[in-house]
Amino acid sequence: MPGFKVSVPHRHDTLVVAQRLRVFADKLRDQMTVEVSDLVEEWDSEGNLRFAFRTQGMQISGKLENRLSEVLVTGTIPFLALPFRGMIENQLAEKIREAIESSSN
């Protein structure tokens, strides 16, 4: 399966980033407008996430790494989603930036 990769730089403490990303993930789950099934979310104590889900019949999986100066998300998407990879990566980067820079979390 094809892969995707998103890197979002930040200048925050990793614990702050982890907290903001978890709050963001909770909000995102509550606001989803597409049907998602078989959702797996596994957060570790460092704020890293392993995830997998199925949407519109397609399986998506990956990991989010909360690093000192960036959040790195890598994963796989089905070949059918390949034409949308750039859009997926851009939207994911935008949402991560929004979550990290949010001062209301």
Residue with the two structure tokens 């606001």: 31
How far is it, in rounded angstroms, from Cα 10 to Cα 8?
7
% residues pLDDT > 70 (the chain): 97
Domain containing 81: what range?
3-101
| Predicted pLDDT at 34 | 79
User: What is the pTM assigned to this prediction?
Assistant: 0.87
pLDDT digits (tens, 9 = 90+) for 35-72: 888 989 999 999 999 999 998 888 999 999 999 999 99
pLDDT band for position 32 (cuts 50, 70, 90)? confident
The strand ranges marked E within the chain are 3-9, 36-43, 49-55, 58-66, 70-76
Q: Does pLDDT of 103 surpass 60? A: no
The total number of structural domains that make up the chain: 1
